[in-house]
Structure 1
Amino acid sequence: MQQTAVQRRLLIVDPCDDCHRLTPGLVQAGWEVASCALAQALEHRCDVGVLRLDEAHLKHPDVVKDMIKRSNTEWIAVLSAEQLRCPAVGDFVCEWFFDFHTLPFDESRVQVTLGRAFGMARLRGKGTVKAFDTQDELLGESRPIRELRKLLGKLAPTESPVLIRGESGTGKELVARTLHRQSQRSGQPFVAINCGAIPEHLIQSELFGHEKGAFTGAHQRKIGRIEAANGGTLFLDEIGDLPLELQANLLRFLQEKHIERVGGSQPVPVDVRVLAATHVDLEKAIEQGRFREDLYYRLNVLQVVTAPLRDRHGDLSMLANHFAHFYSLETGRRPRSFSEHALMAMGRHDWPGNVRELANRVRRGLVLAEGRQIEAKDLGLQPFAQQPPLGTLEEYKHKAERQALCDVLDRHSDNLSVAAKVLGISRPTFYRLLHKHQIR
């Protein structure tokens, strides 16, 4: 039975008469051809897209850019030779399209270009893979991230405080937001405060609020962050940087479930779930007298530890592509893939800044990249010396077999029967392998 060829889907957007005349030949060549207006382009699934650029598209390029970014496939521009001579048009086409054709069509060249675009779309997984939603959290499929998601599913429904520990840039706030989103308080406020980013003389007022006239400049009552989170979740980031005096006030709130605004005398009941995060060693801080032990035990009822990126190398490519799509909206440039050398350079980097560092490097790479792919130098990573290509499995087996023979001969060259026994093979097999590898 003859095998059915892979169906190739082509979408022609805003087709002109030349495009329509091209269609029968494309169908005969095995393409499934559909056409539509630009406004309906995202409603169609396709492997390759063709867009006839006209004056309206060139006057409003952002509409075209948005469609290309969201379509997740390769696009070919069709335009007149006169249009292509305009510098702005040339830059636009080179930045956003896989290739282009000028009218009138050279049908044989079109067939070649479509084939290349189809191959590239398949190679990059385009046309069938949905781009990451920018609202996704805790992306990744490595073992640490799967175990983390499982743990958060257990902790989220509880009301107990959670202490989130991990290096800077490992997503501790994302963990806190996930706990809030999956909890029964998800419809209520999520209030985050970085305890290390607020001047010490303002922390008391920021956390607990103040009454009018409490101090110079307090012209009206202010609701603090704790009170603003009433009914929801309060996230205290970098809790290890909280001054000792404020630690005592926070401990009193956790025990009594009410606060007093600065300059006030009436207790204000507040119902919040407290999540805290730190990258410092709190046990060591307790020994040094910089953190209250009783507060530590109040906060550390449940604990989550976020894994550093160096332990999640299997997630590097997924995260890098996520950030490339996310920041392309900011830079106004087409989302770029990463070259093989860039991916290898990322794999060899230790990522001391973790996921935050990866996001910043990808953001930089999108701005600096001059080719169709982001290179290691665009990411600010040192290219490494060219490594020899990996061999096939058979080549690895061949090398390992030869090495085993050499090793056993080093020890038992005077008794080949013993050498064969050490390797767990018969003497005839041992001689055959020696001949195969031209040893002795």
Structure 2
Amino acid sequence: MPLSRILVADDEESMRWVLSKALKKKGFAVDLAADGEQALGMIQAGNYDLAILDIKMPGISGLDLLDRLRDLKSDLLVVIMTAEASMKNAVEAMKRGAYDYLTKPFDLDVIDAIVEKVNRAREMTSQVSILKEELKDRYQLEKTIIGNSPAMREVYKTIGKVAPSDITVMVQGESGTGKELIARAIHFNSRRLGKPFIALNCAAIPKELLESELFGFEKGAFTGAVERKLGKFEQANGGTIFLDEIGDMPGDLQAKILRVLQEKEITRTGGSQSIAVDVRIIAATNQDLEEMVRQRTFREDLFYRLNVVPIHLVPLRERREDIKSLAEYFLAKACTELEIPPRQCDPSAMSLLVSHSWPGNVRELENSIKRAVILSSDQLLTSDDFPGLRNQAKPGDIPTNGEGLSLEGIVEMKLRLSFANMDKMQSGDVYTMVIEQVERPLIRFVLEKTRGNQVRAADILGINRNTLRKKIQELGIDLRRD
């Protein structure tokens, strides 16, 4: 981010006045200190981007102050000034961590050059820092967006198609389905990687504060605005802004977001100057925006501007085959965070997790597992460790026959059940039991997809029609239901 606030410390009033006037003319906020003690106090209390310090001041010298600032404000850039043009001073200043060194007297264009150089250094440092964080986040993201269901595979395909462009995306889905994760995945796979990703929940901020949060404000714009503040759009410049719960945005702000999309510029609250911004917008909602457009509670023109590429995240109850993988990930994550040995879910617990409707979606699943891990002292979690879910379950909800799991999950669950009761097993039981449990959901699924057409279903399954009819009778499949 560019420089905005500078501290000038010099015991010569004339030098403070000249530098203050020159820097303020360039649009910077400038504070002045007459000695090292005052400068130290102001830096401790304030938030400065650059300090210009005279090397000789009453009390604490510029060099001694530089030593203290290295530990106190390691990210603060410091320029040292001196009237003594000696190599010793220059070397000493740079050794102690000064960004640059000025010899008095100097022309004001030298100050302009220094400020420009500092700006470039800050921007480069900021980009490197952001890139490091985003690469770390991207690595984490690749592990946390979990699911191999058909619905999630479609989402991955869409991310791959839209990420390289700057096209506006609308992520739709119930609360807790992971809309921000998808927005981050788009950003991390775009050309804007290394630039800021700024997220804002429009429903979490009072309406009267939302405008200044988005667009920033000028000093004196309202009571309490003691200094200029950059809004989320300026903070995200060059990168991506994620507007979560866009459906909760007031109508007057909807018009201003539309202007940003059209004109690519914003105006701070209390300001009159238009500021250009280069920002990609990704919006998200758990509401039916089309219905809101019909009811005139959401602007139609903004809806079509935001909904260029919609990504729909299905609720967890509609991709149950992903629950096992998600549960195992959240188990490992919770154990790592709590620094305890790894835990596992037994078949009864996993069946309960798979069968639950999860109105809070992935977020509710994660919280339920974390709660179970914290409260249980056993390494193997059972359905008893999820009393809230068990109490909500209706008779027949828990899929003891494996329905709701993937075929691989069914086989694994049945094998675990079998080997847990080895003393009761007879020779040949495992193969027969697993095949019987896999056959029923498989045949039901194919019949459902062929709308009960047994000839077509038999062809897809690769078996004789008479064999299929026999299996339907043996397995008790209700054709009226399927």
Question: TM-score per shorter chain, which class?
Answer: 0.5 to 0.7
Amino acid at match of 1:180: H
Partner of 2:280: 273
2:200 maps to: 193
Q: Is the 8 A contact 1:137 1:178 kept in 2?
A: no
The correspondence for 2:290, drawn from 269, 283, 289, is 283
Which of 140, 157, 168 is the equivalent residue of 2:164?
157
Name the residue aligned to 2:59: none
Q: Name the residue aligned to 1:328.
A: 335
Alignment of 1:180-219 (within 5 A): 180-219=187-226
Q: 1:378 to 1:134 in 2, by over 3 A?
A: farther
Query: For 1:295, which of 270, 287, 302 is the aligned residue?
Result: 302
- Say which of 392, 397, 403 aligns to 2:433: 392
Contact kept, 8 Å, 1:138 with 1:145, in 2: the verdict is no
Q: What residue ranges of structure 2 are gaps of 5+ in the alignment?
A: 1-138, 402-413, 415-431, 441-464, 471-482
For 1:381, the equivalent position in structure 2 comes to 389
On the 8 A contact 2:342/2:379 being kept in 1, the answer is no
Q: CA deviation at 1:393?
A: 6.3
State whether residues 195 and 242 of structure 1, in contact with CA within 8 Å, keep that contact through their aligned partners in structure 2. yes
Task: Please list every run of 5 or more consecutive structure 1 residues that lacks an aligned counterpart in the other structure.
Answer: 1-132, 400-422, 431-440
- Aligned residue for 2:90? none
Greater relative contact order structure (CA < 8 Å, 6+ sep): 1
For 1:158 and 1:358, the matched residues in 2 are separated by: 33
Q: What amino acid is the match of 2:389? A: L
What amino acid is the match of 2:390?
Q
Give the alignment's Cα RMSD to 1 decimal: 2.6
**What is the identity percentage for the equivalent residue pairs of Structure 1 and Structure 2?**
47
| Deviation by residue 1:57-116 (Cα, 9 ceiling, x = unmatched) | xxxxxxxxxxxxxxxxxxxxxxxxxxxxxxxxxxxxxxxxxxxxxxxxxxxxxxxxxxxx
3-state SS of the aligned residue for 1:328?
Answer: helix
Q: Is the 8 A contact 1:369 1:375 kept in 2?
A: no
Displacement of 1:387 after TM fit?
8.0
Q: Which has the higher helix share?
A: 2
The 2-side partners of 1:351 and 1:174 are apart by 19
1:319 aligns with 2:360: no
Is this contact kept in 2: 1:335–1:366, CA < 8 A? Answer: no
Asked whether the 8 Å contact 1:282–1:291 carries over to 2, the reply is: yes
For residue 254 of structure 2, what is the aligned residue in structure 1?
247
Q: Which residue of structure 2 lines up, in the alignment, with residue 405 of structure 1?
A: none
Distance (Å, rounded) in 1 between the aligned partners of 2:204 and 2:151: 29
SS in 1 for 2:165: coil
Structure 1 counterpart of 2:149, from 127, 142, 153: 142
Q: Deviations over 1:171-227 (max 9, x none)?
A: 110100000000000110000000000011100100000000000000000000011
Residue 170 of structure 1, aligned match among 167, 177, 181: 177
Aligned to 2:421: none
Structure 2 CA distance for aligned equivalents of residues 396 and 331 of structure 1? 37
- C-alpha deviation, 1:303, in angstroms: 1.0
Q: TM-score, normalised by structure 1?
A: 0.58
TM-score, structure 2 as length reference = 0.53
8 Å CA contact 1:333, 1:366 repeated in 2 = no
Aligned length: 272
Amino acid at match of 2:433: T
Amino acid at match of 1:381: L
Structure 1 397/229 Cα, relative in aligned 2: closer, same or farther at 3 Å?
closer
